Amino acid sequence: MSRFATRCPNCGAPIVFAWSQSVQTVCPHCRSLVVRHDVDLRALGLVAAAPPDISPIQLGTHGRFEGRAFEVVGRIAYEYEDGGWNEWHIVFDDGESGWLSDAQAEYAISRAAQPPKALPSRSELEVGRRFRFEGREYVTTTVTWANYAAVEGELPFITWDRTRTAFADLKTTSGHFATIDYSEDPPLLFLGRFAEVEELALTNLREFPGGLAESAVRGFNCSACGAAIALRAAQLTANVACPACGTIVSPHDPDLRVLQEAAARQAHAPKIPLGTRGTLDGQPWEVIGFQYRTITVEDEVYGWDEYLLLNPYHGFRYLSEYQGHWNVIRSLKQLPVGDLTTTALYDGRRFRRFQAATATTRVVYGEFPWQVRAGDTVKTTDFISPPLMLSREGEGTDETWSLGAYTPGQTIWTGFSLPGTPPRAIGVFANQPSPYAGRPRVFWTIFALLAFVWLALVGGRFLLAGRRIVFEGRYAFTPAATTVAPPAEDAAAFVTPEFEVPGDLANLEVRAEAPGLDNDWLSLAIALVNVETGSALDSGIELSYYAGVEDGERWTEGSRTASLMLPEVPRGKYLLRIDPAGGVAGRRIDYSVRVRRDVPRLFYPLLALGLLAIPPLLASRHALGFESRRWEESSDEDDE
Amino acid sequence: MVRSLLYLVFGFAVLGSMAAIEQRGWALWGPTRVEGVPRTLRDNPGAYRPHYRSSPRYFGGK
């Protein structure tokens, strides 16, 4: 970058133009506005000193953006009703100039662009109006009336006029932004993109060695109670609420005009005192503001605390706390997409609408970059995708979006070195991550895997089981006619011939069949006796079969076959002792008995599947229970 | 992760147990095991008093 050195026409101090196309600069010694006409310089007069601020950027700051190095060579400080922002004039190493916007520590790089067609006049421009520039769709989000508050360094045009003019901010869903500047006719268009401070790799920044409190540019006394008020966020502060009495005053008014008397008794004390410094996400933050807000749902009032945190390099963060549940919240530069009624899409995540309500600010302490009063109301809509929550405040033409991340109370307590322990979390919060999230899916996947293995094994077992017939016999039984004296017990008992049971320890199936059984029953008391050891397994089989016609419909009941499974039968010589009993006296029942070795069973494979399903079923139940408790807290005033 | 691992271990334990049960023909419940059946059983089946007794009864019918 070629530099042009000369002397101030007013005081003679050396002046260096870092950018060859600079039209004006401000003498760093006498604050004369020096206008350049080729090599001639003319001092137009003295300019006001830049308002105090906490911007970390200064003339001479270096950075990088999209692969190009730049240097900050000038600055325009704008002021508007609620505060101010900086437009830093930057010059890239290839000679192109651009602007680094620093609005409440939200950074964006832009350059002048040629609109594809004439831009609308100020009176025609409305919030919400859409434009298409360079292939991207922009939506107008705010229109701000502002004027130059001060200038520093080199600028590509002459700034002297302090007339209030309109600036329209436009955003896209991809993090790009545009500004329509109505300070000239036709209006100017600037296109750019938001950038995080880390991305800009800024060097030669201002330092805040003592923290914000010590660098506070002003301290004053409350107009109402006289308590000391430290102004930490300088020109970013739109109003400040006295931490002692809650009276809201305008810090930019020389008379410290009272904007709002203290609201009744502000008995709601913040859990984190104003001025507390701490660390969140690896960055230092200072608590500069606090408000207590409420919503009313079905006549129940729900209130939460909201802390405003400031880091001069990273801007503002908000910390909300409701019944021990904490969220770290940041404003969004990129607009969510979707229908924004039931769902919102942001950064690849789908958020479900959780709640819509009207929030009322009840208590205010400290500084805020926007106008805030006790009693302010705003419509809020929350969309959740745990552990994140998208919140929209306001509606239609004046809405802002923020993104909250659920944060454990202990993280807050540790980060801010607070004494004691954080308040216990009560209930389930909207975006609280479920401790069961994902577990049912993992468990059911494991279940499917195990079931597949098991079914393959069981299938193999059913295919390969021996089912070898080791005994078969046919018998007949005629129940005795009823006499005065009942027949002796076991009178019909008999034993079968011995048979060999081969193989290792396995089961034996005894199956009885009586094909001619008709409206009768047969009971067989069966003992499998090991003739070598004298041990026996006692059991029985019962057959019954009934049929008939009732109301013209035929019915049957029971079965003519039944089986019995004898477990853990070792190899050896066996016989069966069979003791039959029957129903209809005098009617002969023909039946057969068959014994098979190694017959697969279905009960235990099914029992195994049942046991395997218990953990995933419990996990699903817990997960559903947690979600049910979460959505119990959902309310929607639109649905009322 | 730990829970998934525990479930996997539990799952394989269940399957291993059930496979062994099925292989050995073991049953949770079943017939009564009796020792010392008399050798005269073959000649006098009525002499053995099994634990399982059936009693004549009417089983069904509408």
Q: What is the reported pLDDT for B59?
A: 46
**The token pair that represents A441 in the structure block:** 């899916």
User: Do residues A527 and B32 make contact, with C-beta atoms less than 8 angstroms apart?
Assistant: no
Q: How far apart are CA A529 and CA B49, in angstroms?
A: 13
Other Cβ atoms less than 10 A from the Cβ of A362: the count is: 18
For strands A188-195 and A106-113, give the pairing.
Answer: antiparallel
Which residues does chain B have within 8 Å of residue A434's beta carbon, measured at their own beta carbons?
none
Q: How far apart are CA A350 and CA A345, in angstroms?
A: 5
Q: What is the reported pLDDT for A213?
A: 44
Rounded to the nearest 5 degrees, what angle is found at the Cα of A418, between the Cα atoms of A414 and A420?
Answer: 100
How remote is the C-alpha of B9 from its chain's centroid?
27
Residues A465-491: tens digit of each pLDDT:
889 999 999 999 998 765 444 555 566
B-chain residue closest to A457, CA distance: B19
Q: Any CB–CB contact under 8 A between A546 and chain B?
A: yes
Phi-psi map region of A220: left, alpha, beta (phi>0 left; psi -120 to 50 alpha): beta
Residues sharing a CB contact under 8 Å with residue A187, sequence separation 6 or more, in sequence order: A119, A121, A122, A180, A181
User: In whole angstroms, how far apart are CA B61 and each of A94, A548, A553, B47?
Assistant: 102, 8, 14, 34
Give the mean pLDDT of chain A.
Answer: 85
Amino acid in the structure at residue A182: Y
Interchain pair A542, B54: CB under 8 A: yes
User: Do residues A333 and A171 make contact, with C-beta atoms less than 8 angstroms apart?
Assistant: yes
Q: What is the reported pLDDT for B62?
A: 43
Query: What are residue A344's DSSP bridge partners?
Result: A351
CB pairs under 8 A between A and B: 171
ipTM over 0.90: no
User: Do residues A266 and A245 make contact, with C-beta atoms less than 8 angstroms apart?
Assistant: yes
What is the H or E stretch that residue A5 is in? Answer: strand A4-7
Highest mean pLDDT among A101-110, A221-230, B22-31, B50-59 belongs to A101-110
Measured in angstroms, the CA of B6 and the nearest CA of chain A are apart by 10
Binding-face residues of B in 3-42 toward A, CB within 8 A: 3-4, 7-8, 10-12, 14-15, 18-19, 21-27, 30-39, 41-42
Query: DSSP assignment, residue A50?
Result: P
Query: What are residue A102's DSSP bridge partners?
Result: A86, A107
Interchain pair B60, A546: CB under 8 A: yes
Binding-face residues of A in 420-479 toward B, CB within 8 A: 439, 442-443, 446-447, 450, 453-454, 457, 461, 479
Q: How far apart are CA A609 and CA A586, in angstroms?
A: 48
Pick from A454, A461, A540: CB nearest B52: A540
**The token pair that represents A424 in the structure block:** 């216990």
Q: Please, is B2 exposed, middle or buried when counting C-beta atoms within 10 Å of its C-beta (0-12, 13-18, 19+)? A: exposed
Q: What is the reported pLDDT for A592?
A: 96
Q: What is the reported pLDDT for B60?
A: 47
Residues A283-325: tens digit of each pLDDT:
899 998 899 999 988 788 889 999 999 888 888 899 999 999 9
